[in-house]
């Protein structure tokens, strides 16, 4: 009895272990799936309907549009164009014809977008949409629409032209062309604005060329060393060179404005800050306030300049008056001038009554009689405010037609007063300055 009991326990244990191992093995091994009876692949029409419903919620989903186009290309017959899509395209075309204002252009865009949403496999919708997007400078969108046009119409007659346009609308290529336009017209703000806006639409900001950085660093060095306006002028030229290579560079516009302000080029500084403001709209408050300060500086500088000009004009007038007074004093201190004979209170300009006394280059003096060429003077002796000379008529008897004049300036220099001696005696004589 004991022997049977001892051997029955191990046998029972082995049987239990075997059952557990068998159960685990059955649980861990995969079972083949039985095919579901009655399951069916969705028809192309069903897929298209689902895709269109999804696209209404995510119209920007380009990948979904591509799936729709490829699906429709497999469908025989192709799905009919919705009448609503055709109506939207017609409305968009009408808006383009009347697009004299930005509002009508945006209306055309909305109609074409609606047409491409209602019939996303329709090439004409993408072609028209790309055209209006390009006109509105939505160039990345236009590029995407043209790509969808080629996908929807791979055998289009204008396929090569469209591919070239897609390449031309590449952001890097557009940037190169726009930079070239700036270099052709560096003073045209519209060309610079175009580059700035283009750079802002790019997924990654364009890299600053090494050439631009070289000029930028040189400009900063000139600013640091500048002691006068010439130093800032050199910096300005270098900043401008940097901005020809990288016309979208915000910091360069800001530093250029600072240098222009230091050189008192206020209008140029304001223009540079406006371009900086375009590159950094988030900094608009500080930049706009700086523009206001520049306008105040410009006004103050203009007022100072006007005051200096008035003072200079006053100084010049005063100097001119002093020069005239000095010249007049010198004239009145000299016997040089035109003199008219005064007889019984009446000026006698005819005949020998008018004489002109003038110094010669060699240091002597000459006396002319404009109204009587036969009369001449010689043996002229000048000393300060006095002059004496002999006068006679050419060809006449010297004993009868010779006179000796000895004249001196009056105290105010307006008259020559003295004597005239002839064969008939000596008489007083007066000449009045003309």
Same topology, domains 44-169 and 189-299? Answer is yes
How many CB atoms are closer than 10 A to CB 96? 19
* Cα–Cα dist 260/236, whole Å: 7
Distance of CA 107 to the CA centre of its chain: 33
Question: Using alpha carbons only, what angle is made at residue 354 by residues 353 and 360, rounded to the nearest 5 degrees?
Answer: 135
Contacts (Cβ under 8 Å, ≥6 apart) of 26: none
Parse the chain into domains and list their residue ranges.
Answer: 44-169, 189-299, 337-433
- pTM for this prediction: 0.54
What is the rounded distance in angstroms from the CA atom of residue 172 to the CA atom of residue 382? 90
Cβ 277 vs Cβ 283: under 8 Å: yes
DSSP-assigned beta bridge partners for residue 427: 420
Tokens 């014809």 correspond to what residue?
97
Residue linked to tokens 């017609």: 90
Using the CB atoms, write b or e for 12-34: b if 16+ within 10 Å: eeeeeeeeeeeeeeeeeeeeeee
Q: What are the C-alpha distances in Å from 113 to residues 106, 110, 321?
A: 11, 5, 80
Sign for the CA dihedral angle at 168, 174, 176, 179 comes to positive
Distance (Å, whole) CA 16 – CA 9: 11
CA–CA separation, 95 vs 99, rounded Å? 6
Residue 417 is predicted with a pLDDT of 98
The listed CATH number (3.40.50.1110, 3.40.50.300, 1.25.40.10, 1.20.20.10) that belongs to domain 44-169:
1.25.40.10
**What's the CATH class of domain 189-299?**
mainly alpha
| CA distance linking residue 58 with residue 129, whole number of Å | 18
In order, the DSSP letters of 257-289 are HHHHHHTT-HHHHHHHHHHHHHH-GGGHHHHHH
Q: Cβ distance 352 to 372 under 8 Å?
A: yes
Give 91-129 as a DSSP string.
HHHHHHHT-SSHHHHHHHHHHHHHHHHHSTT-HHHHHHH
- Integer Cα distance of 132 and 137 in angstroms: 9
SS3 content of the chain, % helix, strand, coil (to 5): 60, 15, 25
207's tokens: 């890299």
Cis peptide upstream of residue 77 (ω within 30 degrees of 0): yes
Q: Give the chain's length.
A: 434
What is the phi/psi pair of residue 200, to 5°? -70, -20
pLDDT of 39 reads: 57
| pLDDT digit string (tens) for the chain, length 434 residues | 334 443 344 433 333 334 333 444 444 444 444 445 555 789 999 999 999 999 999 999 999 999 999 999 999 999 999 999 999 999 999 999 887 777 778 899 999 999 999 999 999 999 999 999 998 888 889 999 999 999 999 999 999 999 999 998 888 888 999 999 999 999 999 999 999 999 998 888 999 999 999 999 999 999 999 998 888 999 999 999 999 999 999 999 999 999 999 999 999 999 999 999 999 999 989 989 999 999 999 999 899 999 999 999 999 999 999 999 898 888 889 999 999 999 999 999 998 899 999 999 988 999 999 999 999 999 999 999 999 999 999 989 988 899 999 999 999 999 999 999 998 999 999 999 99
> Contact, 216 vs 284, CB < 8 A?
no
Burial class (CB in 10 A: 0-12, 13-18, 19+), 2: exposed
Q: How far is CA 170 from CA 141, 142, 237, 403, in A?
A: 11, 10, 32, 105
> How far does Cα 224 stand from its chain's mean position?
25
pLDDT at 100: 72
C-alpha to C-alpha distance for 237 and 200, rounded to whole angstroms:
26
């Amino acid at each position: 009895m004991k022997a049977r009991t001892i051997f029955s326990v191990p046998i029972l244990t082995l049987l239990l272990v075997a059952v557990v191992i068998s159960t685990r093995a059955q649980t861990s091994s995969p079972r083949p799936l039985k095919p579901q009876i009655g399951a069916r692949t969705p028809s192309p029409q069903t897929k298209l309907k689902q895709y269109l419903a999804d696209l209404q919620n995510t119209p920007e989903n380009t990948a979904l549009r591509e799936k729709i186009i490829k699906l429709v290309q497999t469908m025989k017959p192709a799905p009919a164009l919705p009448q609503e899509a055709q109506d939207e395209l017609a409305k968009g075309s009408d808006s383009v014809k009347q697009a004299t204002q930005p509002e009508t252009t945006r209306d055309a865009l909305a109609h074409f977008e609606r047409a491409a949403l209602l019939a996303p496999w329709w090439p004409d919708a993408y072609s028209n949409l790309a055209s209006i997007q390009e006109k509105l400078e939505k160039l990345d969108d236009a590029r995407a629409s043209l790509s969808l046009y080629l996908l929807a119409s791979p055998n289009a007659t204008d396929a090569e032209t469209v591919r070239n346009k897609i390449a031309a609308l590449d952001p890097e290529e557009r940037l190169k062309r726009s930079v070239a336009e700036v270099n052709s017209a560096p003073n045209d703000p519209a060309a610079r604005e175009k580059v700035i806006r283009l750079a802002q639409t790019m997924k990654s900001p364009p890299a600053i060329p090494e050439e631009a950085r070289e000029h930028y660093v040189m400009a900063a060095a000139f600013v640091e060393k500048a002691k006068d306006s010439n130093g800032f002028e050199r910096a300005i030229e270098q900043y401008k060179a940097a901005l020809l290579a990288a016309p979208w560079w915000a910091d360069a516009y800001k530093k250029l404005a600072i240098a222009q302000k230091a050189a008192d080029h206020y209008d140029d500084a304001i223009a540079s800050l406006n371009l900086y403001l375009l590159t950094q709209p988030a900094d608009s408050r500080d930049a706009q306030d700086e523009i206001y300060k520049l306008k105040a500086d410009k006004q103050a500088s203009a007022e100072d300049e006007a005051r200096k000009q008035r003072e200079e004009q006053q100084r010049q007038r005063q100097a001119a008056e002093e020069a005239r007074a000095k010249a007049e004093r010198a004239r009145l201190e000299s016997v040089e001038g035109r003199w008219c004979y005064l007889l019984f209170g009446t000026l006698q300009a005819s005949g020998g009554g008018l004489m002109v006394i003038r110094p010669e280059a060699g240091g002597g003096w000459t006396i002319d009689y404009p109204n009587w060429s036969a009369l001449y003077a010689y043996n002229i002796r000048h000393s300060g405010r006095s002059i004496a000379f002999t006068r006679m008529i050419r060809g006449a008897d010297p004993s009868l037609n010779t006179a000796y004049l000895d004249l001196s300036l009056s105290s105010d220099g307006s008259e020559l007063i003295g004597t005239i001696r002839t064969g008939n005696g000596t008489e007083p004589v007066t000449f009045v300055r003309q």
